[in-house]
Amino acid sequence: MSDAPSFLVPPDPVLSVHSSGSGRSWVWRDEKLATGDGRVALAMAQRAGIPELLARILHGRGVDPSQVAAFLDPRLRDWLPDPSCLHSMDETAARLAQAVRCGETVGVFGDYDVDGACGTTLLTETLRELGCAVHFHIPDRQKEGYGPNAPALEGLRAKGATLLVCVDCGTAAVALLDALRGKGDIIVLDHHKPDGAILPGCLVVNPNRLDCGSGLGHLCATSVAFLTLVATCRALRLSGWFETHEEPALLGKLDLVALATICDVMPLRDLNRAFVAQGLRVMGRGERLGLSTLASVAGVKETASAMACGFGIGPRINAGGRIAQAELGVKLLLSEDAFEARALAEKLDEINRQRQTVEADILTEAYHQAESQLEAGHAALFLHGESWHPGVVGIVASRVRERCNRPTLIGALQDGVIKGSARSVPGLDIGAAVIAACQSGLLLTGGGHAMAAGFSLPAEKAGAFHAHLDQALAEARHRPRHDALSIDGVLALRGATTEIAAQLARLGPFGAGHEEPVIAISRVRAVKSERIGRDGNTLRVILQGEDGGRLRGLVFRAADKTFAELLEDRAMPVLHVAGQLRCEQWQGQDMLSFFILDAATI
């Protein structure tokens, strides 16, 4: 148990910060953290044999004392369900097992994002190991759009595919897939919300279909594909297939499941947490040539972390599908040739730099439109431009949402049609709003889940669609312009040690639904500051406490952070800072850093 007295529990609001340098209030992540009565956390710490700091944070996040061990060390055997709990899983596994026994050719059609790329790789790699010939297709975002299309599926048929599998798409393609059913079997492995109860007439495994009682609606499509392969191998095992054939090592493919779960921003709880924890361990072994090569090219120091997946590896795999060749990511993930992997990784890295330039050009105009719509009183932001690249609208939507704290939809106008992506804020279901608009005839296409969606509509219906969004998401009007910053604890600078950072790291992996703990450090001065990095957009500071102790601090994308000027103020005012405390390895040495998310004057 920790005896560090520097972990404080001041009253709400945290450190009396009502409006920080970025206009945010600082609040406790959970009201249980606001009370000085730490008896429950202390009892949890004693029972589980963990430091009191960890116990306080876990208690604040609703972890039951009896579940602490399972939370800190999530294991698949504790969380992996019987795949048969998913609707149509047994029939789907039987059909895939039949394809294996008969040596059929399978065509895999995947979405162009990381989840689609990972799901396509997982299916292609495993079915090939099982003896099937597999061809895959990732659609060109601009030429083909989202979801399966007849020419691509017919192209897979022309290559000999007797079974088609759509991964991370297909649920909404009812008319198309029904029209193709007579030409061969089709399977859909997806997680997007359907348009009501209407589904394609083929086999559809989707935990978000209305008649599925699995309770696994928080899984990404790659996770659905993994469970499908677990069920398929079980069916083959029961038939005696593996008595004469080698069984694939499915657990060794969890690196793909982890990468997809993180990049598709799935909540890291229960099964997802176990998938990611185990998958990162697999990734850490460096056995997948494509991932290790891409990490090297991208300069990612610690490959096997949620941070590396979400901010280093994922964006580069995504880049091919956004503005270039959509199949590059899958080819890299499947590659077993070092020369080919290097060439593909360098290509994706180059494309990602192009993507960043395109994104920056759009962001300026998008921010301007957003300000106008906020002033006009809109609940949701619906921004679009004729020159905007459709491949980066999702990223731009995320950035605008972060800045404005509103559900945000970004569209590219081409040939009289607006196609785009939507991102929401916690508690407001953007997928449901988009699906409702599609059902009412406002949209040409539309679908998604609570936090993200895709859509297309005739330009002349833009006003009506925006009015629909304002009504469906009206609650957003009552949200503050800047969302409050959730704080997990407060430290004096002397308490920000490598030991504390190591304790905090035990709570990982971090992601949606289980964010990295945010710690406030009280009463410091930034005694030195400098801009670093290729574009000078990273701010490095030296924080000094009242007792003279020092700590390195970093601010990424500093140009977008209004609080950065407080850290660069030559008057060196006394500040409270909030961020994430991490201990990283650099040239064999432990380096303690504070990644600053906000700052406030006293």
Which residue's structure tokens are 């060390």? 73
Contact 538, 556 (CB under 8 A): yes
DSSP string, 509-569: --BTTBPPP-EEEEEEEEEEEEEESTTS-EEEEEEEETTS-EEEEEETTGGG-TTHHHHT-
Same domain as 569, residue 443: no
Q: How confident is the model at residue 304 (pLDDT cuts 50, 70, 90)?
A: confident
Residue 22: is its pLDDT beyond 60? Answer: yes
Straight-line distance from the first to the last Cα atom of the chain, in angstroms, rounded to the nearest whole number: 32
Residue 257: is its pLDDT beyond 80? Answer: yes
Of the three residues 224, 250, 285, the one that is the final residue of a domain is: 285
Pairing of strands 550-555, 575-586: unpaired
366 half-sphere exposure, CB direction, 13 A CA radius: 31
Same domain as 542, residue 463: no
At residue 12, the pLDDT reads 64
Inside any domain, residue 152: yes
Inside any domain, residue 385: yes
Q: How confident is the model at residue 8 (pLDDT cuts 50, 70, 90)?
A: very low
Inside any domain, residue 132: yes
Inside any domain, residue 70: no
Inside any domain, residue 49: no
Inside any domain, residue 510: yes
Residue 166: which CATH number? 3.90.1640.30
Pairing of strands 26-28, 575-586: unpaired
Inside any domain, residue 358: no
Same domain as 219, residue 106: yes
Inside any domain, residue 364: no
Q: How confident is the model at residue 36 (pLDDT cuts 50, 70, 90)?
A: low
Tokens of 28: 């406790």
Whole-number average pLDDT of the chain: 93
pLDDT tens per residue, range 445-472: 998 888 889 999 999 999 999 999 999 9
Same domain as 103, residue 209: yes
Same domain as 278, residue 258: yes
CA angle 552-487-275, nearest 5°? 90
Same domain as 172, residue 252: yes
Radius of gyration, alpha carbons of the chain: 25
Helix or strand (DSSP H, E) at 234: helix 221-238
Of the three residues 224, 255, 285, the one that is the final residue of a domain is: 285
At residue 2, the pLDDT reads 40
Contact 151, 93 (CB under 8 A): no
Least confident of 3-7, 20-24, 366-370, 461-465: 3-7
- Between 37 and 451, residue with greater pLDDT: 451
Residue 27: which CATH number? 2.40.50.460
Phi/psi at 108 (5° precision): -115, 125
At residue 439, the pLDDT reads 92
Pairing of strands 550-555, 589-601: parallel
At residue 37, the pLDDT reads 63
Same domain as 83, residue 29: no
pLDDT tens per residue, range 514-535: 999 999 999 999 999 999 988 8
Residue 11: is its pLDDT beyond 70? Answer: no
Same domain as 545, residue 396: no
Containing structural domain, residue 178? 79-285
For residues 466 and 378, give the distance between their C-alpha atoms in angstroms, rounded to a whole number. 9
Least confident of 185-199, 202-216, 249-263: 185-199
Mean pLDDT on 549-575: 95
Same domain as 94, residue 194: yes
Same domain as 185, residue 266: yes
Least confident of 26-40, 219-233, 243-257, 429-443: 26-40
At residue 348, the pLDDT reads 96
pLDDT tens per residue, range 103-158: 999 999 999 999 999 999 999 999 999 999 999 999 998 788 889 999 999 999 99
At residue 50, the pLDDT reads 87
pLDDT tens per residue, range 375-413: 999 999 999 999 899 889 999 999 999 999 999 999 999
Residue 10: is its pLDDT beyond 50? Answer: no
The amino acid present at 112, given as its one-letter code, is Y
Same domain as 190, residue 97: yes
Of the three residues 257, 285, 313, the one that is the final residue of a domain is: 285
Same domain as 552, residue 429: no
List of residues 6+ apart from 110 with CB closer than 8 A:
116, 117, 119, 120, 136, 137, 138, 166, 167, 168, 169, 330
304: left (phi over 0), alpha (psi -120 to 50) or beta: beta
The count of structural domains within the chain is 3
CA angle 594-596-600, nearest 5°? 125
